[in-house]
């Protein structure tokens, strides 16, 4: 019986604090980290997740990497007997929800941006966003002769060489490849640092000279040299109906609008595809899997224009699945998809935001499962209450426990945001321990769950036309029970 139940076990990881390593790349919190890891082991978790900041490791000089602080942290994780999910964080920490420290991208990259600010994502008014390089420079050799993709690939190569002992020992099981702001595969369409406030629709962020030229070439090739990037899509904090682009029968439904949205979302998919291909070459043969993070943009989900998703680069409409296209691309790399907001209930949201996190989670998880992916989740906001945990448990096994074997669908893993003094307080910690046990299908911790096979080489590139075929029709999500059968 326990053998059959084991197929219902969902691994639980916990994010380590953002400031484990100082802004000058030192590990000064060994005692505190060791104590936190010990409490997580006692709670029965499977592992931890950690941001590996490009801005710290290659911060001072191009091609010079300092991994010493990270090695010390990884060693403690290994000694605790935990597994590790490492995020290749090529974005800035600071300026997003929950960012408690400020770690910019490398200084020498920002110096190049002083002379050429178009290396950064840019909105229609020309405001630059220095959190992450625009995907417009992915193939531009302007970083002392390297392209942005080469910068990321070299960073990962250095990680692979310097962390070989932890990869070979099976400590690092997951390489989450950062593909945008906050490590998410999206455009920085809703930056708090520039005044965005929930539930603003955000803005299209493609007005740097590289993406403008790319769009112009694409429009000309399509026989419409007169088409320009949108100038009617409003500003960060607008509501959809305030704009011409997202209004009923707005620009987004015209031939020109559809062309733009396809181009904008395709650029993002290709960006992810190219970097994952490099990551696959780097980690080939390692017993680790690649993963990416997709952002949970649940506001304006209930209106036909899905405005906030569209500005972020997710071309998702009531009749078009903007997440299945991403999932289909991931099949080429055997990569898993990590999605957020797994803890949210619709009834917790304000009605004005037209928000539907539960439906969004169902849609995205279903898209991943239909493509045969490992699908993982995170919570978006720090929560310690039974309602949030029970929502996660429901999403982890949408139709409950199967006593006779694997459930039809289940999460591959769940990563909890984030370890803190608050989490480890008596009552919160007790509830969390119960939650971990329920995720494990009421079984004891088991280190042998879902062993990771050596990474295989990515399959050949999937033509974008074939990727777009899975967008329509948008299929109904798989059925989800209203509540979990194993509440905390």
Residue 24 neighbours by CB under 8 Å, 6+ apart: none
Q: Is 318 annotated as a binding residue?
A: no
Buried b (16+ CB within 10 A) or exposed e, 325-338: bbbbbbbbbbbbbb
Q: Is 402 annotated as a binding residue?
A: no
What tokens does 460 get?
A: 């050949």
The residues facing 376 across adjacent strands are 338, 413
Q: Is 306 annotated as a binding residue?
A: no
Residue 156 backbone dihedrals phi, psi, to 5 degrees: -65, -35
DSSP 308-372: HHHHHT---BTTB-TTHHHHHHHHTTT-EEEE--TT--GGGS-GGGT--HHHHHHHHHHHHHHTT
Q: Is 380 annotated as a binding residue?
A: yes
Helices (H), 249-299: 255-283
Q: Is 421 annotated as a binding residue?
A: no
The residues facing 294 across adjacent strands are 339
Whether 184 is catalytic: yes
What is the 8-class DSSP label of residue 103?
A: B
Q: Is 91 annotated as a binding residue?
A: yes
Whether 378 is catalytic: yes
Residue 6 neighbours by CB under 8 Å, 6+ apart: 441, 443, 446, 449
Active-site residue identified among 58, 131, 309, 378:
378
Q: Are 95 and 193 in contact (CB under 8 A)?
A: yes
Peptide bond into 473 cis (omega under 30): yes
Q: Is 99 annotated as a binding residue?
A: yes
Active-site residue identified among 131, 176, 184, 358:
184
Any idea how long the chain is?
Answer: 488
Active site residues: 184, 378
Q: Which residues are annotated as a binding site?
A: 51, 91, 99, 293, 298, 340, 379-380, 418
Q: Which residues are annotated as a binding site for substrate?
A: 51, 91, 99, 293, 298, 340, 379-380, 418
């Amino acid at each position: 019986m326990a053998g059959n139940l084991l197929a219902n076990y969902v691994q639980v990881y916990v994010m380590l604090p953002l400031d484990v390593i100082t802004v000058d790349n030192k590990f000064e919190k060994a005692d505190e980290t060791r104590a936190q890891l010990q409490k997580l082991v006692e709670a029965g978790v499977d592992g931890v997740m950690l941001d590996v900041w490009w801005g710290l490791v290659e911060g001072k000089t191009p091609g010079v990497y300092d991994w010493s602080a990270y090695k010390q942290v990884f060693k403690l994780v290994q000694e605790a007997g935990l597994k590790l999910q490492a995020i290749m964080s090529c974005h800035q920490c600071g300026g997003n929800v929950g960012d408690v420290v400020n770690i910019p991208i490398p200084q020498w990259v920002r110096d190049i941006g002083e002379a050429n600010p178009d290396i950064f994502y840019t909105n229609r008014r020309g405001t630059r966003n220095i959190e992450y390089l625009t995907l417009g420079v992915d193939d531009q050799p302007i970083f002392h002769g390297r392209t942005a993709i080469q910068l990321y690939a070299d960073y990962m190569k250095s990680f692979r060489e310097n962390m070989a002992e932890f990869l070979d020992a099976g400590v690092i099981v997951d390489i989450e490849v950062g593909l945008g702001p906050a490590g998410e595969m999206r455009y920085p369409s809703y930056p708090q640092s520039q005044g965005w406030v929930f539930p603003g629709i955000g803005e299209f962020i493609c007005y740097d000279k590289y993406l403008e030229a790319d769009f112009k070439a694409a429009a000309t090739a399509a026989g419409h040299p007169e088409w320009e990037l949108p100038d009617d899509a409003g500003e960060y904090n607008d509501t959809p109906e305030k704009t011409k682009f997202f209004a009923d029968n707005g620009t987004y439904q015209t031939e020109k609008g559809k062309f733009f949205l396809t181009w904008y979302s395709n650029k993002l998919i290709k960006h992810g595809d190219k970097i994952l291909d490099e990551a696959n070459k780097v980690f080939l043969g390692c017993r680790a899997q690649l993963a990416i993070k997709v952002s949970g943009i649940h506001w304006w989900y209930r209106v036909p224009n899905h405005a906030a998703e569209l500005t972020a680069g997710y071309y998702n409409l009531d009749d078009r699945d903007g997440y299945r296209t991403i999932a289909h691309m991931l099949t080429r790399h055997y990569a898993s998809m990590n999605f957020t907001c797994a803890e949210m209930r619709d009834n917790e949201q304000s009605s004005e935001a037209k928000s539907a996190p539960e439906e969004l989670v169902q849609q995205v998880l279903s898209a991943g499962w239909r493509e045969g992916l490992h699908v993982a989740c995170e919570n978006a906001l720090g929560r310690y209450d039974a309602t949030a945990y029970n929502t996660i448990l429901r999403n982890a096994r949408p139709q409950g426990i199967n006593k006779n074997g694997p459930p039809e669908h289940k999460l591959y893993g769940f990563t909890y945001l984030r370890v803190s003094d608050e989490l480890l307080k008596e009552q919160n910690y007790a509830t969390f321990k119960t939650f971990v046990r329920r995720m494990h299908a009421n079984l004891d911790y088991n280190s042998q769950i879902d062993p990771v096979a050596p990474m295989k080489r990515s399959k050949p590139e999937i033509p974008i036309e074939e990727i777009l075929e899975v967008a329509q029709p948008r299929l109904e999500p798989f059925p989800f029970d209203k509540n979990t059968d194993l509440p905390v």
